Amino acid sequence: MAQLELVQPAPLELTSAEPRGDHLVISRMVETGGKVLDVGCGDGALMQLLARECDAKARGLEIDPNKAHRCVVRGMSVVQGDAERDLGEFPSGAFDYVIFSRTLQDLRRPQAALKQAARIGERVIVSITNAGRWNKRAQLLLQGRLGPNERLHRYSVRDFADIAREMRLGIERAVPLSQGHAGAPFAKTIWRANWFCEEAVFLLTT
């Protein structure tokens, strides 16, 4: 795990691109000034948004050295490392929020990573793509298969809610999204979101 830093950090390079839908929802879940670890931070778009909108003290963890370097060029703090190995290196309670923005489903052992996140953060925010949406069910019914998937793990909204509860994580808030737009928040009654949303963002308490 390598800490990458600039001697004289460059100012944030604010992009004109519209923020991703799950990023906008996450920015509304993070309290002002919160300490954040963005796991699989990519090029730093979410950290940039949180710094701007929430005055968050954000730090990233990214396995791809090119993406990590791009974060550094933008003046953001990033650790180049493997989340499945290196989350264990962070001290307990080090962050207010640990975030997996479309990254948890790409890990080989997502529940182990989620357990570590719950140890080092007071809250954990996870955005997932929903494998239980009606079109996925129709594809399975008509074709007998779901087809190729860019994620290692498929979760429906209900699947992930069950995993969180089995791990004794409270679901403080959960928001469904379709076509990048947030719908009505759901908590205990999630069947409608399970059928119709494309993705969901969960705010979990540890």
pLDDT digits (tens, 9 = 90+) for 34-56: 999 999 999 999 999 999 999 99
Instruction: Tell me what pLDDT residue 181 has.
Output: 76
Convert 86-123 to b/e letters by CB count within 10 Å (16 or more is b): bbeebeeeebbbbbbbbbbbebeebeebbbbbbbbbeb
Under 8 Å between Cβ of 60 and 68: yes
> How many domains is the chain built from?
1
Confidence of residue 17 (pLDDT cuts 50, 70, 90): confident
Under 8 Å between Cβ of 157 and 190: yes
The answer to whether residue 96 is domain-embedded is: yes
The answer to whether residue 4 is domain-embedded is: no
**SS3 call for 40:** coil
Q: Which domain holds residue 34?
A: 22-205
Q: What is the DSSP letter of 55?
A: -
CATH number for the domain spanning 161: value is: 3.40.50.150
The answer to whether residue 109 is domain-embedded is: yes
pTM of the model: 0.83
Does residue 190 carry a pLDDT above 50? yes
The answer to whether residue 12 is domain-embedded is: no
The answer to whether residue 189 is domain-embedded is: yes
